[in-house]
Structure 1
């Protein structure tokens, strides 16, 4: 076992930066050190870990197998230390100018974000909320880019490898214009797959649950149009023969949907479950706790307005 009293944790910070930059000079510039200081730190780390860690190539420094082996644990350890230190610093919403990043499933962003923005402006007028697409990873070390998600989870399963709280589970409906040529027919899985769809991109929803359910039946839907925002879909349905799906509660939240025909999605196992997800390494930090509590409060308040 390494005696931590003799171990300089700054060496691990330099190690993670070299893994990212693959260049001594770039790391030196980023950390405000001289290249020789970074090289000396790497030399000390090589002795302590008994491994070369990096070797030079024409494209820059390449990590050894040992370096690739330990990087995830090192990043997780540094993240835990950072969170533990940050947790001792009191977050005051009214005084903070912090930047939070979130991913929000597009189906619910239309009714959630306006109320969330009003609440944030009232409590923390100087902070910034950066809404990122789901194409940015939020698995494992990717959580350094995202503070929280409101995401779709297939069926009634719970998300894995993250902390989560279920916000809502809702049935799914198929939408089309009332005078659609197939409006009078029973909605079956085969008919649903055959009709031309307008659907949200995976970057907007964060899930492929519908396509997975159809594939399990040997079916594939006809995606005539893929868009990145729900906002344009209802108007398309009113003027074309396209169909789309939505959470049932959205019928009460978007007045345009009152003019459309809604039928149950003929994929019984599919439920739109919306979960708030976050990195367990961040949950004790006071600013992060405020963010999650605010999301939950706003979401619950919006849902109560449409419940009978």
Structure 2
């Protein structure tokens, strides 16, 4: 096998030019080098490929059988490389056939994903979105995920290479209207003492509430942990379990609107939702387009 680290791929461009022009002078004109530079490159290729490749004729040069065999593969390979590079500079949503992979915090998935589906249907009908849970290990996440819409604890930016704030929202404590503590002031101690239903870490991607409680010497009782937000409003409405949610859900989910809501008594906790991506893909046109679409969906809903 040829070690590509020791192989100058520019030599293949010169080889193709000699094949297409049939002369050293013509190839030199095509690639913008002097005839002597092209001759020198050909000499290197002959050594590396162990073949004469071209022999002189009265009209220029003629390829050997080995050169003819190589030509089809070299043309194909250079074509693939050229196409790959060209795609880095263009992305046409209406024509693209591509799968993007995302992680989306469960609190906003019900808001984001239906609107994203509408945008894809109208703008990029052959583009697909694959949603992965946040249980994917952080060590490998950016090898598998194009971007995240994640919960970020506090007011700080997330510790990832690139991010854009989509919204920051107050967190409220939810309980049924007839809950025994519905009329009591919500304190950190009362909040920790009550029984909770919560989203799993794989759905939210954060343990900030438990971390903040632990710093205060408090621990809440997890009566139930569920995989997605959809189950929580009905569980809270039909039991004495409490839950937390961004205040915005009070207007987005009719089931939540019927519950009693009190501010979360942990002032240091603010749930921010951030769009996050890897620096290595920041300039890739397809990902730039999708990040723009996600940002516009939040902006169109009146978010900062």
Q: TM-score, normalised by structure 2?
A: 0.71
Aligned match of 2:287:
288
Aligned match of 1:239:
238
Residues 174, 244 of structure 1: 8 Å contact kept = yes
Decide whether aligned partners of structure 1 residues 8 and 232 sit closer, same or farther in structure 2, where only a CA change above 3 A counts. farther
Distance in 2 (alpha carbons) for counterparts of 1:294 and 1:219: 41
Aligned match of 2:90:
90
1:143 lines up with 2:148 in the alignment: no
Residue segments in structure 1 that go unaligned for 5+ positions in a row? 11-80
- Superposed, 1:241-256 pairs within 5 Å as 241-256=240-255
Distance in 2 (alpha carbons) for counterparts of 1:106 and 1:5: 45
Q: TM-score, normalised by structure 1?
A: 0.70
Distance in 2 (alpha carbons) for counterparts of 1:118 and 1:274: 21
Residues 160, 277 of structure 2: 8 Å contact kept = no
Question: 4+ residue stretches of structure 1 with deviation over 3 A?
Answer: 4-10, 84-89
Moved more, 89-98 or 207-216: 89-98
Residues 211, 220 of structure 1: 8 Å contact kept = yes
Aligned match of 2:31:
none
SS at the partner of 1:281? Answer: helix
- Superposed, 1:261-272 pairs within 5 Å as 261-272=260-271
The structural deviation recorded for 1:162 is: 1.7
How many equivalent pairs are there?
229
Residue segments in structure 2 that go unaligned for 5+ positions in a row? 10-80
- Superposed, 1:1-308 pairs within 5 Å as 7=6, 85=85, 88-139=88-139, 141-303=140-302
Distance in 1 (alpha carbons) for counterparts of 2:138 and 2:87: 22
1:77-133 superposed Cα distances (whole Å, 9 cap, x missing partner): xxxx9xx94763421111111010000000011111101110011111011100000
Decide whether aligned partners of structure 1 residues 187 and 86 sit closer, same or farther in structure 2, where only a CA change above 3 A counts. farther
Q: Tell which structure's C-alpha radius of gyration is larger.
A: 2
1:142-198 superposed Cα distances (whole Å, 9 cap, x missing partner): 312000100000100111232000000111000000110111111111111111100
